[in-house]
């Protein structure tokens, strides 16, 4: 199942997405989480918490699901 993540800014970082979706409790946990889990952004491995995610990017998080970044301005 794919879940939409709506943003109002031009981009969101991977660390912000993890926190926004309650996968981690604080932004400081992002570095540890990304070291321990094989996350993919647009079907490519990613471990940088500062990776910028733009509308139409997809994030696959094992055990959590697939997330699609969308802009609130898209219609």
pLDDT score for 71: 94
Alpha helices in 1-75 (DSSP H): 14-20, 30-36
The CA distances from residue 37 to 11, 12, 47, 71, in Å, are 22, 19, 9, 26
pLDDT score for 60: 98
pLDDT score for 48: 96
pLDDT score for 28: 87
- In the predicted model, residues of the chain with pLDDT beneath 50 are 75
Query: What secondary structure letter does DSSP report for 2?
Result: E
């Amino acid at each position: 199942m794919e879940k939409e993540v709506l943003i109002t800014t031009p981009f969101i970082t991977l660390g912000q997405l993890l926190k926004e979706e309650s996968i981690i409790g604080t932004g400081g946990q992002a570095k540890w989480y990304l070291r321990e889990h094989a996350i993919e952004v647009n079907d490519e491995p990613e471990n940088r918490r500062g990776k910028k995610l733009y509308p139409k990017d997809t994030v696959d998080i094992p055990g959590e699901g697939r997330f699609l970044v969308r802009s609130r301005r898209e219609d």
